[in-house]
Structure formats: structure tokens, C-alpha cells
Amino acid sequence: MYFEQFYLGCLAHASYMMASESEAVVVDPQRDVEMYIKAAEEHGATIRHVFETHLHADFVSGHRELAARTGARIYIGAEAGATFPHVPVRDGFELKVGKLSLRVLETPGHTPESICLVITDLEKSSSPWAVLTGDTLFLGDVGRPDLSKTFTPSQLAGMLYDSLHDKVLKLADDVLVYPAHGAGSLCGRNMRAERSSTIGTERLTNYALQFKSKEEFVAELTSHLPERPEYFLQDAEINRTGAAALSDLPLLRAIAPGELKTMLENGEIALDIRPGEDFAAGHVPGSVNIALSGQFATWAGTILGLTAHPVLIAGSEQQLSEARIRLARVGIEELDGHLRGGVAGWKEAGLQLATIRQAGVSELNTQMEAGHLQVLDVRREPEWEAGHIENATWWPLDNFKVSPPEIDRETPIAVHCKGGYRSMIACSLLQRAGFLNVINVVGGFDDWQQAKLPFVSEKPVGA
């Protein structure tokens, strides 16, 4: 048996391929599918089957393109209401691929159509070897229960409890667990960084499996949910019909600096994808910085939304190409173009650049003691509650989609997150909203703690 996990760090997404006797299966493919085709060729196999564990909300899947290019059949839970050609599967459905067996468990909860796949390598044993759990069971967590238009979070959480305890946890302790996401994904809130586990390990260590009653489980899962980006439900609908092939995307148009200046004056968005330090040193006034180095596509989807058609500002052709693919992975496809010549071209056209001041935590502490600035924390709620700078204002970056924080525009604003990535995004959004005296805190709260500077913490209600 050949088995491989493909991990896409920027989306914290895991997909899988397995093969036996020259026949291959792909589970939960990412939008760009070329690597699965190449891997199958390298192992002398042909992709005949594609499984989706559910309608993914945080990324656009490549199932339709992969099926079109290979002739594979697509399998998805019967409750998905999928409109592309597919095989609807329910509990007990079994697919034999050479010496492999894939058996479906219907596990509604994260979504109504969620399934898990129990994998048995019949060459070695008649007992299950692994389970691909999709977003039902993560390492250290379970799927969030608020991604349905039909069911309430409480209803879904109840379904998830039953799916876990009546089906998934009936598997033997030595069965390997391979989820569809890892640490950093918004599909859960407490995931570990490892890429696989076992049923026994999760039974003992996963906080969500320790509750003694269904009522406790539901109460915990439906409280303090991370903010759900607006594009999640839109991506699920795209996946219900199946996305077009990446090759169908039009070429990016090169936009002259003068034209971009006019576009920005008319409210269009310029998305600068360069590293934060480059953006701070000089950027097109009014542009938004989301650097390629972090969870670029997730934040672009969260902050800009799928209806955005930004002009990209990059430092190289390679950056442009990478950004195009990564944006398409979350469903942002209609881009207005890219700035010809990048920031250098803007400057050569005689147009002014804006800058953002950067400061370390020692300078921040000194300025705070002198009363010369206000502090804005843009981390998420669990991070804020675990520890934050006293008297800081909290406005998570997710909220910037709705509006900037209501803070004094005249007093200098020092913005921080965990390490500096999100705070630079926030600084660019604040500048765009008219806040002119903005400072990015280099190293963020990590450096603040490392320097042993004071902070306060608070526990969630009911903790």
C-alpha cells in the first residue's frame, strides 16, 4: 500500500492519497491538483476515486478538476446536496481498491454531511489501520458546529457528540487518526501541531472527549467559538457545485501607477503581498498589506471577502504567481490586475510612498509609561484572555472586516498581535481608514513576554 499526507501549511489543510495495485484514491484535495497527478504517476497508479469528507468551508476544493483530468468518480456524504456528478455515500458504504478497503462512517456534527473513512490494509490485517476523520475529529479538538444554514450550533454539537461516541470512538485504540486540518485552522480552536495521532491518544488527551455528558459537550462547543469568516459559507457553496479549473482563470492585467492612483481614489483595493518590513519601509498609500509569508489566503478571505477584486502589488513575478494560486484556493479569483513595476514603478512615476513606523517592545513599554501612546491588541479572544497588556484596547483583526476600532485618531497607536504578522495587516487597514500615526510592534506579545514585561489575564465566564 502507498499512503501519503499532503500538508498545506498556509491553510493548515491535510489531504491524502493512497494506492494499491495501480489504483489510487485522493481524499479532500486542495484547489491545485497537479501534485496528486504527479504523485500517482511516480507510484505507477491512476487516480480512480476522489472522496470529500464534507463540503469544506475554509478552502475551495479541487475535486471537480481532479475528476475531470483523471476520469475519477467523486464520493461525498449523501446529505451534501452536491450538484456535480458524484456517488452519494452513507454508513457502511465500502470501496475496495486493490488490497485496500475504505469504509464510510456518517459522522454529522461539524456539518450535516460529514463522513469519516475507515482504512484497512487487507494485505496486513483484516482490522482497520487508520481513519481519515475530516473535520469531525482533530488532534486535540473536534470540528466547530456553526457552519450550517439548516441546523443550529447546539443541534450540530449534539450530532457531533453522537458521531464521536457511537462511531469514531468505537474503533480500536491503535487505529491511526488522520484529520483534514492541523493547528492554525479556524475549523477548530484547540488543535495540536502534530500531523497524526491514534484513537487511544485522542481518547485520553483530547479535551472535547473528556466531557461526561452530551449536555456538557454541547455547552462547551457552542461557547467562545472563534469568529467565523464570512467567506466560509460561500466556499461551502462553491464546493457544493465544484470549482472551475485553475487553468480557466484569466491572465492578470498590468496596471500603470497613474491608473492605480485613480482606482484607489475611487475606493478600489490594492493588496500589497510583500513582507511586512518591506511594506513598512515604503508602500502605495492606501494599500493593504497581507504578506505571503503567513496565512495569506485565510486573512485575504477574512478581511477582503470573496467579492473583492484587488490589484496586487508584488516584489517579483514569482510572488504574483504564488498569490494568484493561494487566493484562488479560498475563492478569490476576479483580480483587477497588478501594479506594473511594483513599488519601484510607483516611485519612478514620481508618486509618493507611505511608511509605517516600527518599534520593539522595550520602546513600547517606555512610551506607555510616559503616556505618549495607546495600545491596540488585534489577537483573537483566547489569546487576549490568556494574557494581555494592561489598559490595551482589544479589537481582533477579524473584526476589521466590519469596521476599524473606535479609538482616538490623534494619539499614536501601537498595534500588536502575537508576533507581528497580523499587526502589520491591521496597521495597513488603519492607515487606509485615515489613522495616520500608527506604529507596528515588532515581535508582538511573544517578545513582550520574553522581555518579562507585565501583563494581565482573565478567564472566560464559566471556566
Q: Where are the domains positioned within the chain? A: 2-241, 249-348, 357-450
Q: Does residue 462 have a pLDDT over 60?
A: no
pLDDT at 370 over 60: yes
Distance CA 236, CA 53 (A): 12
Counting beta carbons within 10 angstroms of the beta carbon of residue 126, is it exposed (0 to 12), middle (13 to 18) or buried (19 or more)?
exposed
Residue 226 predicted with pLDDT over 90 = no
User: How far apart are the C-alpha atoms of 258 and 238, rounded to whole Å?
Assistant: 36
Say what the pLDDT of residue 292 is. 96
Q: pLDDT band at 372, cuts 50/70/90?
A: confident
Q: Is the pLDDT of residue 267 over 70?
A: yes
User: pLDDT tens, 92-134?
Assistant: 999 999 999 999 999 999 999 999 999 999 999 999 999 999 9
CA distance 272 to 300: 11
Contact status, residue 149 vs residue 113, Cβ threshold 8 Å: no
Q: Residue 458's pLDDT is what?
A: 78
pLDDT at 403 over 70: yes
Instruction: Name the residue among 64, 52, 23, 11 with its Cα closest to residue 300.
Output: 11
What value does the mean pLDDT take over residues 397-406?
89
Task: At 171, list the grid cell.
Answer: 474503533
Asked if pLDDT for residue 460 goes beyond 60, the answer is no
With pLDDT > 70 as the criterion, what percentage of the chain qualifies? 99
Fold identical between 249-348 and 357-450?
Answer: yes
What is the per-residue pLDDT for 100? 98
Residue 382 has pLDDT above 70, yes or no: yes
Asked if pLDDT for residue 430 goes beyond 80, the answer is yes
**pLDDT-wise least confident of 23-37, 196-210, 396-410:** 396-410
Cβ pair 372, 278 in contact under 8 A: no
- For 300, other C-beta atoms within 10 Å of its C-beta total 25
User: Long-range contacts for 96-102 (Cβ within 8 Å, ≥24 apart)?
Assistant: 97/18, 97/19, 97/20, 97/21, 97/23, 97/24, 97/25, 97/48, 97/49, 98/19, 98/20, 98/21, 98/22, 98/23, 99/1, 99/20, 99/21, 99/123, 100/1, 100/18, 100/20, 100/25, 102/25, 102/51
pLDDT at residue 424, rounded to an integer: 98
**Residues in contact with 56: Cβ distance below 8 Å, sequence separation at least 6, in sequence order:** 28, 135, 180, 235, 236, 239
Q: How confident is the model at residue 461 (pLDDT cuts 50, 70, 90)?
A: very low
Higher pLDDT, 41 or 250: 41
The correct CATH number of 357-450 out of 3.40.50.300, 3.40.250.10, 3.40.640.10, 2.160.10.10 is 3.40.250.10
Tens-place pLDDT, residues 66-101:
999 999 999 999 999 999 999 999 999 999 999 999
pLDDT(463) > 60: no
Mean pLDDT of 8-29: 97
Cα 322 to chain centroid, rounded: 16
The answer to whether residue 459 scores a pLDDT higher than 70 is no
- Average pLDDT of the chain is 95
Which grid cell is 206? 483530547
Q: What is the DSSP letter of 283?
A: B
CATH 3.30.9.30 fits 2-241, yes or no: no
CATH architecture, domain 249-348: 3-Layer(aba) Sandwich (3.40)
